[in-house]
DNA sequence: ACCTGAACACCGTTCAAGT
DNA sequence: ACCTGAACACCGTTCAAGT
């Protein structure tokens, strides 16, 4: 053993990420352990630390992948129809991803401990990219409004969409199935948009 | 040592809960350890297991206390004014609690591992009580509507309020301070209510 | 009956030692 | 240079032993 050189460091990094993601999908973040990952990829614990600083770093990268996948699905929805339709489609795409990839999605919002290092810049950029998709549609909806207004509306609506998904899918709301969540989402989005465009100051 | 009988089991239970809550407030859930709690209350690890089944059970009880405190603050807002005002006040009360008791609030939404036992009935009842406060106001707003419609609207709005708080306070949204979150919340609630009451089928 | 504290299994992380 | 695996500190949980 030692000095096997069967894989490059980049390859090992990918293998670790793949194995970690599989575990999250099947058993949730709680089941993510270095020893298990090492076993899964056929290396030993020490090797994990050649490619990641520590567990928190590894987890951040798994989350990064999830953010990329969400972004891909959001960007796959048609962005050229009527803005209201696009926004509804984005909301549906979001809840669909969340329900299909429940453990990975839920993991993104796990509270981080207060003392571990702040999120790296590349991670924050991935989050911003997600917000931007909705913001663009909101901006299309109200071209005359200052950019700041659109931004605030996008934040309110994204927050709303996410909150409905969260409370529904984690069972804090007694919603039955995905269809039920979708209906609640549609109610939120349609009501918000109708009320927003009818605002006294717009 | 042993057989000290300085405190009843009920007293010890309260001491454990108090100590655990203090740790959560100061350092977050991540810092919650049996050995630390034991040290804080002047007993040893084994004693904790006289009054709680395990760590998960203890955490559920700490969360239960937080739910009670939130309920108390929501029930303290005037429920007899115009429903729109009441709902806005509830939203403000919620975000205020969340920002003042950030670690305790955030702890409620920590993802539980997939395999640990389901939440006990008394816990679910506390959650239902929270939802009910908003539902009552929504129902006042649309007396002629069937109860199911009010329920769905309450779920959508609660989800929305919570989502804005979550994304804002945990920094997923680039909101600056509580005042900024409050403004976003007001935008969401006012737009939703305006749009909801103007719905084509109401 | 109440409480202790050593023991156990498991965890993330490090690093001297091997090739 | 790459990789191992024993060692370390720490974790939740149990339970025989003490009074």
CB neighbour list of residue A80: distance below 8 Å, 6 or more residues apart: A86
The predicted structure's pLDDT at residue A67: 98
B143: pLDDT confidence band, cut at 50, 70 and 90?
Answer: confident
Residues of A with Cβ-Cβ distance to B184 under 8 angstroms: 152, 155-156, 159
Residue A162, classed as helix, strand or coil, is helix
**Which of B181, B28, B52, B51 has its CA nearest to residue B108?**
B28
Q: For all residues of chain B together, what is the average pLDDT?
A: 92
CA–CA separation, B53 vs B144, rounded Å?
A: 48
Average pLDDT over residues A131-142: 95
Q: For all residues of chain A together, what is the average pLDDT?
A: 92
The predicted structure's pLDDT at residue A83: 97
The predicted structure's pLDDT at residue A5: 86
Average pLDDT over residues A115-135: 91
Q: Quick one: tokens of B127?
A: 């959650």
Q: Do the beta carbons of residue B69 and residue B101 sit within 8 Å?
A: yes
Task: Please name the residue that has the structure tokens 């979150």.
Answer: B181
Average pLDDT over residues B33-43: 98
The predicted structure's pLDDT at residue A4: 83
Higher pLDDT, B197 or B171: B197
Q: Do the beta carbons of residue A62 and residue A21 sit within 8 Å?
A: yes
Write out the H or E segment, with its range, that includes residue A119: none
Residues of B with Cβ-Cβ distance to A199 under 8 angstroms: 190-191, 194
Is B1's pLDDT higher than 80?
A: no
* Helices B147-169, B121-141: inter-axial angle, 10-degree rounding: 110
The predicted structure's pLDDT at residue B46: 97
| Beta carbons of A159 and B170 less than 8 Å apart | no
The predicted structure's pLDDT at residue B176: 61
The predicted structure's pLDDT at residue A1: 58
* pTM score: 0.93
Share of chain B above pLDDT 70, in %: 96
**Residue A176 CB lies within 7 Å of the nucleic strand C:** no
pLDDT digits (tens, 9 = 90+) for A11-59: 999 999 999 999 999 999 999 999 999 999 999 999 999 999 999 999 9
CA–CA separation, A172 vs B6, rounded Å?
A: 40
Q: Which residue is nearest to nucleotide D3 (CA to C1')?
A: A2
- Alpha helix (H) residue ranges in chain A: 9-27, 34-41, 45-51, 55-75, 83-100, 102-108, 121-141, 147-169, 178-197
Is B51's pLDDT higher than 70?
A: yes
Q: Quick one: tokens of A108?
A: 């993104």
The predicted structure's pLDDT at residue B199: 79
Residues of B with Cβ-Cβ distance to A155 under 8 angstroms: 164, 167-168, 173, 175, 184
The predicted structure's pLDDT at residue A133: 96
Average pLDDT over residues B96-102: 96
Candidates B153, B155, B195; nearest CB to A195:
B195
Average pLDDT over residues B110-136: 88
pLDDT digits (tens, 9 = 90+) for A141-182: 988 999 889 999 999 999 999 999 998 888 765 556 778 899
pLDDT digits (tens, 9 = 90+) for A64-104: 999 999 999 999 999 999 999 999 999 999 999 999 999 99
Which chain B residue's Cα is nearest to A118?
B171
All structural domains of chain B, each given as residue ranges with its CATH number in brackets, are 1-52 (1.10.10), 63-198 (1.10.357.10)
């Amino acid at each position: 053993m030692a000095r096997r050189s069967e894989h490059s460091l980049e390859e090992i990094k990918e293998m670790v990420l793949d194995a970690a993601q599989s575990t999250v999908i099947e058993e949730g973040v709680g089941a993510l352990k270095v020893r298990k990952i090492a076993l899964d990829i056929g290396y030993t614990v020490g090797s994990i630390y050649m490619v990641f600083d520590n567990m928190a770093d590894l987890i951040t990268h798994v989350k990064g992948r999830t953010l990329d996948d969400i972004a891909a699905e959001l960007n796959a929805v048609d962005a050229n129809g009527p803005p209201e339709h696009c926004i509804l489609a984005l909301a549906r795409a979001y809840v669909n991803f969340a329900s299909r990839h429940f453990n990975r999605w839920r993991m993104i919002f796990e509270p981080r401990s207060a003392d571990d290092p702040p999120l790296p810049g590349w991670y924050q950029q991935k989050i911003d990219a997600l917000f931007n998709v909705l913001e663009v549609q909101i901006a299309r909806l109200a071209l005359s409004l200052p950019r700041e207004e659109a931004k605030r509306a996008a934040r309110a609506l994204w927050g709303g969409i996410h909150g409905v998904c969260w409370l529904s899918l984690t069972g804090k709301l007694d919603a039955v199935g995905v269809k039920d969540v979708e209906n609640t989402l549609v109610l939120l989005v349609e009501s918000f948009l109708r009320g927003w465009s009818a605002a006294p100051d717009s």
